Amino acid sequence: MPVRGERGIALVMVLVLSLVALALMSALIYIITAGTQISGAGKQYKTAQEAASGGADITFQLIAARGNPNIPLPLFSIPALNVGGVDCLAAKLNQPTSAWNAACNSTLSIDPNDQTTYDITFQLGGGGNTYAVYSKIVDTVEGNSGGDLGLSKGGVVSGTNEITVMSIPYFYTVEIDAQNTANSNERAKYSILYEY
């Protein structure tokens, strides 16, 4: 004689197993979708990071040239050159931070929509991946290693009585912000201490 409680147990077991299988499939689809999104975001950030790295190299060339305006770069501009009538970039390249005019912006933040928050801007890339790079010197520690390289490693004096001056480099704290011109979510920021 069959027990009355076993009636319909097969249907209940099939429903429970179907629910477990549905939950597993949903979790699998979620994991695949999330992995694809994370991979895409990582690729976008890596591209923006490379643009910021290129922007840092160009900024270092500008620092090494001490603001020479004849650097051959396309789409290169120095928008904050005369902030408040003050030549901020030349001061930032050649003077310690304490000697800068108060109109020279030394905050760490860069706002692409406000030209007074960055010193130089240029574009890198092409096609669908054009990046606007914004760069700014936020701190300068003055040294004695500057532009003049005349009589370097030799000169008119030779012998044992020659005194070599110890080189003390300039230190620049530089902020770099690179973002895709078509998608501002593709963005990378660098804070760099540069010795020259």
pLDDT at 87: 62
pLDDT tens-digit readout, 129-184: 899 999 989 999 988 765 444 445 555 555 566 666 777 788 999 999 999 998 88
Q: Which two tokens stand for residue 44?
A: 């976008």
pLDDT tens-digit readout, 87-130: 677 788 888 999 888 878 788 889 888 888 888 888 888 777 89
Give the separation between CA 44 and CA 126, rounded to whole angstroms: 15
Average pLDDT, integer, range 24-36: 95
Give the separation between CA 53 and CA 189, rounded to whole angstroms: 9
pLDDT at 34: 94
What stretch of H or E contains 179? Answer: strand 171-180
Q: What is the pTM of this model?
A: 0.69
pLDDT at 150: 47
- The residue that leads in pLDDT, 26 or 45, is 26
- DSSP string for residues in 105-129: ---S---TT-GGG-SEEEEEEETTE
pLDDT at 14: 92
**Nearby residues of 88 by Cβ (< 8 Å), 6 or more positions away:** 80, 81, 82, 100, 101, 103, 104, 105, 119
pLDDT at 85: 45
Q: Answer for the pair 124, 133: CB distance below 8 angstroms, yes or no.
A: yes
pLDDT at 24: 97
- Would you give the distance in Å from CA 111 to the centre of its chain? 13
